[in-house]
């Protein structure tokens, strides 16, 4: 729950965008060729997730895919304690 809270928050979203940009840069500049292109395409997932506010990891852990819905569920869980 703490991890999903972090990842759906503003800091987690910014971190996903930064990690995606770094991964894309490494793929296109350092690795190059087919593997580099694959890395760059995969890097679009965390970038899009941070910008568009969705969390794939949250969905895998049983939380809603949309960040706003996941934050609402997390808030309800905190209140019910």
Domain presence at residue 29: yes
Domain presence at residue 28: yes
Domain presence at residue 81: no
As a 3-state breakdown, the chain gives helix, strand, coil percent values, each rounded to 5, of 85, 0, 15
Domain presence at residue 15: yes
pLDDT beyond 90 at 23: yes
Domain presence at residue 66: yes
What is the per-residue pLDDT across 25-67, written as a single tens digit (0 to 9) for each?
Answer: 999 999 999 999 999 999 999 999 999 999 999 999 999 999 9
State the pTM of this model: 0.88
Cβ atoms of 29 and 21 closer than 8 Å: no
Domain presence at residue 68: yes
Q: Which domain holds residue 24?
A: 2-75
Domain presence at residue 11: yes
Measure CA 51 to chain center.
9
Domain presence at residue 80: no
Residue that is written with structure tokens 């809270």 in the block = 5
Q: Which helix (H) or strand (E) holds 80?
A: none
Model pLDDT, residue 80? 87
Say how many domains are in the chain: 1
Model pLDDT, residue 12? 95
pLDDT beyond 90 at 81: no
């Amino acid at each position: 729950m703490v991890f999903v809270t972090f990842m759906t928050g503003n800091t987690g979203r910014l971190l996903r965008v930064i990690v995606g940009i770094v991964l894309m840069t490494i793929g296109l500049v350092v690795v190059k060729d087919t593997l580099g292109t694959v890395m760059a395409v995969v890097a679009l997932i965390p970038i899009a997730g941070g910008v568009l506010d969705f969390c794939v990891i949250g969905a895998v852990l049983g939380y809603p895919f949309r960040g706003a819905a996941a934050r609402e569920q997390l808030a309800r869980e905190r209140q019910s304690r």
